[in-house]
């Protein structure tokens, strides 16, 4: 949808994705697509794959990028971490640790990375600073799992909001230190 007037611009060919603030780059499963909106008034747009990062990620579940696309994170069922790459140069930049089946990743406005996995252990949610150092971690719910792609971060970056569920459905709000 076009933000200015809500016009439907058609179906997207992408899976789980995130978009840069200017809308020109779309990231999904390690790939960057460059979007051309010159014909968007006719409800058409074009895109070309610009390249892919050489990350070892399977069973892709979520993607997050910062404003300009220079930091992109992936949550993939395997390996059990959150790969990071530069979405402009496609250089890999390591990975943030997780546990079985990562399924959520979001970037806060303050640069912190909020991550979650759907297999509960002692911890299934982690918050890292922009340099990759662990800031906070916790278990979302003792009786439920974190639902895929439900993690959101408040505008100020200080509250993680996620949905958990098995037999019951809950929203968890966690203030980040």
* Of 51-65, 79-93, 138-152, highest mean pLDDT: 79-93
Which range of 13-17, 37-41, 76-80 scores highest in mean pLDDT? It is 76-80
pTM for this prediction: 0.81
C-alpha closest to that of 139 among 162, 157, 156, 169: 162
Query: Which has more confidence, 54 or 52?
Result: 52
Residue 71 has what pLDDT? 92
Whether omega for the bond prior to residue 79 falls within 30 degrees of 0, making it cis, is yes
Does 176 have pLDDT greater than 70? Answer: yes
Lowest mean pLDDT among 10-14, 20-24, 61-65, 164-168: 10-14
Dihedral of the alpha carbons of 32, 38, 40, 45, in degrees to the nearest 10 = -40
Mean pLDDT, residues 9-34 taken together: 74
């Amino acid at each position: 949808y076009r933000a200015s007037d809500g016009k439907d611009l058609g179906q997207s060919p992408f899976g789980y994705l995130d978009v840069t603030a200017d809308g020109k780059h779309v990231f999904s499963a390690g790939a960057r697509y460059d979007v051309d909106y010159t014909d968007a008034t006719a409800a058409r747009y074009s895109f070309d794959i610009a390249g892919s990062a050489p990350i070892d990620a399977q069973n892709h579940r979520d993607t997050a990028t910062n404003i300009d696309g220079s930091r992109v994170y992936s949550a993939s069922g395997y390996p059990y971490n959150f790969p990071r790459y530069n979405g402009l140069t496609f250089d890999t930049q390591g990975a943030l640790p997780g546990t079985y089946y990562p399924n959520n990743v979001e970037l806060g406005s303050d640069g912190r990375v909020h991550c979650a996995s759907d297999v509960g252990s002692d911890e299934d949610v982690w918050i890292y600073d922009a340099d990759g150092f662990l800031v906070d971690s916790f278990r979302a719910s003792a009786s439920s799992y974190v639902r895929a792609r439900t993690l959101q971060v408040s505008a100020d970056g200080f509250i993680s909001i996620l949905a958990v569920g098995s037999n019951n459905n809950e929203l968890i709000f966690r203030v980040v230190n």
